[in-house]
Amino acid sequence: MVDEEAGVVLRARIAAAQRICVLTGAGMSAESGIPTFRDALTGLWSRFDPAQLASEEGYRADPQRVWDWYAERREGVRAAEPNAGHLALGAFARQRPGVLSIVTQNVDDLHQRAGNADAIRLHGDILADRWLERCPERGTGREACATGGAEPGRPPRCTRCGNLVRPGVVWFGEMLPPGAMEAAERAAAACDVMLVVGTSGAVWPAAGLAGAARRAGAFVAIVNPHPSDIDGEAHAVLRGTAAGVLPRILGVGVEGG
């Protein structure tokens, strides 16, 4: 099913649903001016090598280069505003409390700023600082020292334990934040409708959530202007953008929020 017909069916499913799970990817924030990773013309990976910029090895090899690259991306995220798609999800959550769960692969904070503070973040938070090595004071995690600050630098360094500061995102080969995937799997298994918005479906385990929802009985719909790797999991595919399709599908205008 595509477009017109899919839109009608999906609106009816959404109206009747008691639980809706929305899985979002970089395309969700594209219309806010934050580049996606894989779009051929504008995607970040077409201009940069992911192995150097999004891995611990790359950071250790050239901390200043990687820090500077993330500092620029952080500026881009801080300057961006939620688009009509984020705002529609925020408005929907206010109108139908308890129905929506958002699972995002995005490291920006645009869902949170649009009113979905409890969005599950599978790949971390680009605006958060983490320590490169385990902190000797904390023992387990790589959160900042409880009492330490970081002295300015590229990258900054902890004034207490000397750790280099790194962005709080999940790099290639790293574990997802504790509990995040489990919470996402629960939301996928419990939903009546899963909306997959702006993801290429190339990054696992997030990409597996659409199939998991379908196997658990959910109606799965994809919103993406281009084909994705997981279109085969969908009952309906809407070839449009997040900001163009979500307000219409969710039945909330941007002013509705």
Where does this chain bind ligand NAD (CB under 6 A)? 25-27, 29-31, 34, 36-39, 43, 105-108, 123, 197-200, 202-203, 223-226, 228, 241-242
> Cα Rg for the chain, rounded, in angstroms?
19
What is the closest distance, in whole angstroms, from the C-beta atom of residue 97 to ligand NAD in the complex? 26
**Residues 126-149, buried b or exposed e (16+ Cβ, 10 A)?**
bbebbbbeebeeeeeeeebbeebe
Q: Are 82 and 114 in contact (CB under 8 A)?
A: yes
Q: Are 175 and 3 in contact (CB under 8 A)?
A: no
Give the nearest residue (CB) to ligand NAD. 27
What is the closest distance, in whole angstroms, from the C-beta atom of residue 170 to ligand NAD in the complex? 7
Q: What's the one-letter identity of residue 218? A: A
Beta carbon nearer to ligand NAD, 30 or 135: 30
Q: What is each CA distance from 59 to 5, 131, 151, in whole angstroms? A: 48, 12, 18
What is the closest distance, in whole angstroms, from the C-beta atom of residue 37 to ligand NAD in the complex? 4
Beta carbon nearer to ligand NAD, 24 or 163: 24
Beta carbon nearer to ligand NAD, 161 or 185: 185
